[in-house]
Structure 1
């Protein structure tokens, strides 16, 4: 009987850097929540996310508690920390620091993964060393849209790398439980950032009004509802899908690498919207903030339609309907005070969770996947 691979303490220590990095991405988006600001924040988030994904996949397929692997993970953590430090001015004076730290993180992983091999294998890490890393560094020497354009190209290369190197990825022997747990932990990190984004401004406010406290409670209820959407059914479905997939590398690419990028980015967007709502509960949210709050939540819910299709070749009807409802309510939310807009969104997500809970109970199953049936694992 095989022993299930456990998440190493060194991996959890590495995640602490990601907590700070996600906070910095949120701050970048909070500073400029227009379309251009949102695009720049996403472009900056992809390299950070890819550093985490690369090291997570390596830890999944190797012994993360080996001293050399630990030291490499610490070195990558230092690089990720430098990237996070550079983020507030990544499109300003710290662009080269951001790009150089990313390049170093990928060089560390490439040395660990290919150091003993005499030939260069086509992997996502190889492409990042040969293409996306140099593109980021080159962009660090430029300004304005020239930098943004090169960094966007680098992000595109990173996103395309798992598909371009599919043959090499298929040779990897993934541990399903470990991989599903690691990506679930990253979702938890993003949800934790949403709580920090809401609580920190309120804690430093000289006066906490009843409206502010109510908004904090409502934002926390929304964070809990988002947690429920993922961890009540979807987390088990991801693991089940990985374990039963004919080609695990394809599921890992579509559902984990791509799907969770969308999930985590959408949570960050919602966190920015919640923070603004808590800061000004009696005022209307600016249009950009309303789009982040409602659009981010709609993207979060709609992503489960994408992931469920790649897991089980069926649609998550309840979540797609809920996503459409959130988008339909966006114009209404723009006319409401922040607290009311936040309450309306919380009500929709809570209603979704209650509907799915009723669906599971009517089927006579609990979300522990005792039967292993895909139609129970995600409505």
Structure 2
């Protein structure tokens, strides 16, 4: 038994020694373990590669900057003094400026875009709202006083006009072709430092339900937008107008990379109506609606969570006259499907008052259609 164990030990020792020598001298002689083969797809050399971004956007900026203006506004703000300072006894000992109502001059700044060689400028309504004086400074150094042609608080847009010759204008881009990731430039007058261009990309399209305006369909961008940029231009890489910068999401008051612009399609529609009639007329249904959540869809036995749930109906309004009532779910307007309450609001607003359209609703587990005569959206106080 000892002899067999000795032979086994010697054989094992010799085998390990031979394996060690081979691994040092000729490792390729050793057998290799079979492993899984990973196959990856390689793009062919002939495949089209993404377009190379230009090293500079000076051509786009050069085309757009002359049509972007700085807007300076001023208004009188009355402040109430303490009643005792109006007493004749106190006026004998104190200067008159300490008594009565005092008027202070409040000023603000913003931006605008020249859209017509006739002097029409589009800007945000909050830039020129309640202004007693509006001064416009062009990029070429010229200045002029402006008058307000009309405004629309529902979209926060306003049109003002100046009387100058040889005005540069900005062309409108086709926003429908815009995609997330496209390069955009924001041009304006941030913090009053002067005309400034910042660059970013389109971060999102169709942003809504932000609580900024009544009608929202914003372009979101990370191009730096700061106070003073309001009303300025958001242009594409060719220098065409894609939107009007209007708001930022910020906790500090400065840019955090989340800015919102009103798309050029909305700007064009509002601008044309204001120039033509001085105001904007929109369709009105007279309902209060909310989004259909998956939970609501399940409770109403809807296949998909879409449409707008009618939560309230204005008495004697168009919806009330057509027999619509709370609890109905609005599914389509003139054959166009309704995604949510915001989409419903935009579709109704785009209809002409006094026109009759079929509206699809979901009631008591069944789809129905009602004819509604669209009303005129009432102008709220201050609008």
TM-score, normalised relative to structure 1? 0.21
Whichever of the two has the greater Rg, that structure is 2
TM-score (norm 2): 0.21
Structure 1 or 2: more strand by fraction: 2
- Higher relative contact order structure (alpha carbons within 8 Å, sequence separation ≥ 6): 1
